[in-house]
Chains A and B, each alone.
Chain A
């Protein structure tokens, strides 16, 4: 089905960013604009999501150019679910930032940058074109570079470069890969590529030489953005230094876009034929090591923000696990897990922000007795932490259940690792819970100056609203597991059998008629 309004999901945040630039000196109008923007996008996206819950695909051809020639925006089950989850996270973090950011930082283009980040993220989710995926990545990354150093403290500047340089190199490799793919197949449209690759494997013609190399290079690119096993070293340090709402937003969105890119392109194109034999073991090993190392790192830390940051890595391992299975249920499980993880992880980070605000530090030795001081925070943190661990009936349980059950038949060792990781997650979460909330404060240590230089708790209404919103959504995801998993299952079906996707992108059969013949040079 064609729906030209899909472009709104990119245009609304862009227009809001432009308007925010004009209003840069006025905080309140910028906030109202931002809320309107996130709210309207969320309403639109949820509307479309309910429209496609039976597995339909919405498509818009930008500029009116038909599929293999123009840029296509696709709203299918995979991108729809992630888009909605991403917008929920963004809204929660945005509201939270109202009471957590100091006014000086906020005036330094915080609002335009956050809107631009959403432009990039939405474009990544919606695009049906490999090169446009790169552009989306770049918009997102440029905004994230800006947000990462916003405020410009010495620590932030020092730690930002790891993230910056790694991502710049990865982006360059992405451009080269896009060029190579174009040279091999003469097209960059994902649906067209899927068709050509499928046809060449089916007809026994085989894939062009170097295809496997491109697959692995792209895995490097997406792995660097998604913090897969050997490429995760940038993550703990960067999330540790930037302002809390930004860290929460990054933990919810940035790595997931990397995982999304793998989920979108690999089952369709880059893990087909002989490439699958190379990519699958890489993904499996990477999943296991990412899960285990991530959680071990989390258990060993003694600092709330670092524990949460390292947990992001471990959770990415679960998603890679689901992707590596490349079965319908495995992909669906990974997708469901991603959705719940985005919401839960961000809410944990937001809780951590309030904890820091109360105690003036996020060092577990200085925290304590927070449950007495702030009931709401304690309950919210407990609910979020337990859904991260995966206790039923909270949302994490269903994601893990699907993944472990699906992996059991072929890769039982991976399922064992996943269960073990779950246990260690519980250990690390209980560590925060007991030391931070349950036990009385060790000794009245003098409150160290907070990260942003303020120690008073101040007005926390925005922070509570953000946390409350995300935690309620997290619980709802657990309670409404069935309908959400159904959409995720449709996504899994569309990824394992791309014919519906191809038909939707190309209703007139231009691709099938051989619009691009392969071999561009």
Chain B
């Protein structure tokens, strides 16, 4: 069980890093969201396997009795999911607003402090955009 989860986390993180290396903010945002899911799965993997050595399953803590699942990692994940949800909503809204205002979601074009068309000295503004 833990091995399967570990493989899942690896795949998710790989994909998300690939997405984050893109120049398009949409892909970067998706990569960040995916990284959040990877992190949550990693915590699940950390909380130990729900399958006992004999093949029985651990019980949900609310039922009481023996061999309970540790509930705290799930509380952590729930909190992280809520926060992820909020961040995701904010980031998507911001992306839409940015696209409307600037007409681009390309990282290089956004990094220019002044839009190239309006700038009187296009060379200088390009210099200021990179390098810091």
- Which residues of A are in contact with B by a Cβ distance under 8 Å? 131, 135, 138, 142, 145-146, 149, 152, 154-155, 157-161, 164-165, 168-169, 171-173, 175-176, 178-180, 182-183, 188, 233, 236-237, 520-521
Beta-carbon contacts of B101-131 to A below 8 Å, as 1s and 0s?
1100001001111110000000000000000
Report B132 CB to chain A, min CB distance, Å.
Answer: 6
Residues from chain B with Cβ under 8 Å of A158 in the complex: 98, 102, 110-113
Residues from chain A with Cβ under 8 Å of B28 in the complex: 161, 165
> Are A172 and B102 in touch, CB under 8 angstroms?
no
Cα–Cα distance between A521 and B47 once the two chains are bound (Å): 5
> Who on chain A is nearest to B107 by CB?
A161
> Who on chain A is nearest to B109 by CB?
A158
> Are B79 and A161 in touch, CB under 8 angstroms?
no
> Are A157 and B101 in touch, CB under 8 angstroms?
yes
Q: Which listed residue, B32, B48, B97, touches A172 by the CB 8 Å rule?
A: B32
> Are B39 and A182 in touch, CB under 8 angstroms?
no
Residues from chain A with Cβ under 8 Å of B25 in the complex: 161
> Are A138 and B32 in touch, CB under 8 angstroms?
no
Report B33 CB to chain A, min CB distance, Å.
Answer: 9
Interface size range on B against A: 35 or more
**In the complex, B8 has a CB within 8 A of chain A:** no
> Are A131 and B39 in touch, CB under 8 angstroms?
no
> Who on chain A is nearest to B75 by CB?
A131
> Who on chain A is nearest to B48 by CB?
A521
> Who on chain B is nearest to A180 by CB?
B46
Cα–Cα distance between A114 and B79 once the two chains are bound (Å): 23
Q: Which listed residue, A138, A145, A149, A159, touches B83 by the CB 8 Å rule?
A: A138
Report A258 CB to chain B, min CB distance, Å.
Answer: 18
Q: List 17 A-B contacts (CB under 8 A).
A: A138-B87, A152-B101, A154-B115, A157-B94, A157-B101, A157-B110, A161-B110, A168-B91, A169-B35, A172-B36, A175-B36, A175-B76, A179-B39, A179-B43, A179-B47, A182-B76, A183-B48
> Who on chain A is nearest to B83 by CB?
A138
Report B113 CB to chain A, min CB distance, Å.
Answer: 6
> Who on chain B is nearest to A181 by CB?
B46
Residues from chain B with Cβ under 8 Å of A183 in the complex: 46-48
> Who on chain B is nearest to A139 by CB?
B83
Cα–Cα distance between A155 and B111 once the two chains are bound (Å): 9
> Are A236 and B132 in touch, CB under 8 angstroms?
yes
Residues from chain B with Cβ under 8 Å of A169 in the complex: 20, 32, 35
Beta-carbon contacts of B67-107 to A below 8 Å, as 1s and 0s?
00010110010011001001100110010011001100001
